[in-house]
Amino acid sequence: MQRSYTAEIAAPGRKVPVRACDFESSPVFLFPSVGEYPVYDEVAYEVMIKDERRMGAYAEAVRRYAPGRTVLDIGTGQDAVWALAAARAGARHVWAVEVIPKSARIARANIERAGFADRITVVEGLSTDIELPEPVEVCVSEIIGTLGGSEGAGSVLRDARKRLVKPDGVFIPHRSATTAVALDLDGASPGQPLGFPAIVFRYVEEVFAAVGRPFDLRVVLEGVQDNPKVRERSYLSSSVEVEPLEFNGDLDPEGVDGAELTFTGKGKFSGLALGVRLWVAEDDEPIDSLVQSSNWTPVYAPLSGEGLPVRPGDRFEFDFTATLSDDGVHPDYALTGELHRADGPAVPLSWSSTHHGDGFRTTPFYRSLFPGP
Ligand SMILES: C[S@@+](CC[C@H](N)C(=O)[O-])C[C@H]1O[C@@H](n2cnc3c(N)ncnc32)[C@H](O)[C@@H]1O
């Protein structure tokens, strides 16, 4: 039996009660969506390096496009994986940009140790702030979020296309989309409110510190995507795509996408699982975070505290909106829609999730996650 209990975590200027769960007995638990904040540590980089699906797709694309070309690696990280892969594949020169100073320092040391200091130049800073001596032929980056654009890929790569990459330059990855499926949260974690295991507290604290206050931060569901039995119990519909980002085409980080989900199962509709579908190269099979295990895990977008009873054939129609926040990079997301059931009137439902947070304990889900007065 999964056990949950109340603990305390640190937020700027105060302590905050939090719903915690026992890691050993909790096959499904929550984690904050961290990639959109500068809170990368060794563990986070290691999780990405161990994601074989991601690593395989990127390695193949880099081997295909880098030989003989100039390459820009945006967000090289401490391991400089794609900068090194490009140099090993025969890139003429690689510019490896990294905004986190410690990660840039470690990347530089790793590149020197690997003997590529003459072919890879590490630039510390934001890609949007740097200049290059000439536009490059290939841009590789992995700044794809738990929602496709949530780490800023749309605006960052649009800037790179304008200033840093040749007009016919190739972008790796090729395309991403955010995906949505209707979810029965109680099916994912029967009879127990979901919580954070204690090992996750420090990431919640770091996200609160990065934003400057506690807020209803985006959370992801661990233990759902790679467990067919849990998916069967909790996914109530097939999936749809929103927020398309065409990195080799017209790239617009902002937009409204209309979508419709038709329920295929009976259950209680509590919200959406939002994932990412990623085409690393144009002709690749996409990586699909709603149904495949990878370092990307589905975001939970709560819509109803109790869950609304639904049956096959019922529909949820919604608009999904991405608008750049005031940092010009990270999107704020909003969703408004209507649940149409065979019996009864349409039920309006909405969700919003801004990058720097605009409320704390604003919905029943977050009041359960952060219990308190
Ligand atoms: C998801 S990690 C990927 C690390 C590595 N490239 C990999 O694929 O394993 C994203 C990295 O990009 C960095 N980053 C994000 N946006 C950036 C930008 N606009 N300019 C430079 N670095 C950026 C982050 O600090 C982080 O280290």
pLDDT, tens digit, 9 for 90 and up, residues 145-173:
999 999 999 999 999 999 999 999 999 99
Per-residue pLDDT of 40-49, as tens digits, reads 889 999 999 9
Query: Which structural domains are found in the chain, ordered by start?
Result: 4-36+176-369 (2.70.160.11), 44-144 (3.40.50.150)
pLDDT recorded at residue 24: 79
Candidate from 48, 98, 172 with most ligand 1 atoms within 8 A of CB, to mutate: 98
pLDDT recorded at residue 23: 78
DSSP 28-67: SEEEE--TTSS---HHHHHHHHT-HHHHHHHHHHHHHH-T
Beta partners for 210? none
Q: Which carries the bigger pLDDT value, residue 193 or residue 84?
A: 84
**CA–centroid distance, residue 40 to ligand 1 (Å):** 9
pLDDT recorded at residue 373: 73
pLDDT recorded at residue 117: 98
Q: Quick check: CB of 75 below 6 Å from ligand 1?
A: yes
- The Cα–Cα gap between 12 and 33 comes to 19
Q: Quick check: CB of 82 below 6 Å from ligand 1?
A: yes
307 contacts 185 by C-beta, under 8 angstroms: yes
Alpha helices in 74-220 (DSSP H): 81-88, 101-113, 153-163, 185-188, 201-211
Per-residue pLDDT of 67-77, as tens digits, reads 999 999 999 99
Lowest mean pLDDT: which of 40-44, 258-262, 350-354?
40-44
By alpha-carbon position, which residue is closest to atom 16 of ligand 1?
75
**CA–centroid distance, residue 163 to ligand 1 (Å):** 18
Sheet holding 347-353, edge to edge: 255-262, 315-324, 331-340, 347-353
Does the pLDDT at position 204 exceed 90?
A: yes
Does the pLDDT at position 235 exceed 70?
A: yes
**CA–centroid distance, residue 18 to ligand 1 (Å):** 29
**Nearest CA among 83, 57, 50 for reference residue 173:** 57
**CA–centroid distance, residue 337 to ligand 1 (Å):** 34
pLDDT recorded at residue 359: 94
Band of the pLDDT at 189, cuts 50, 70, 90?
confident
Does the pLDDT at position 3 exceed 80?
A: no
Burial per residue of 291-311, b for 16 or more beta-carbon CB atoms within 10 angstroms, e otherwise: beebbbbbbbbbbbeebbebe
**Average pLDDT for residues 126-143, to the nearest whole number?**
97
Q: Quick check: CB of 81 below 6 Å from ligand 1?
A: yes
By alpha-carbon position, which residue is closest to atom 24 of ligand 1?
75
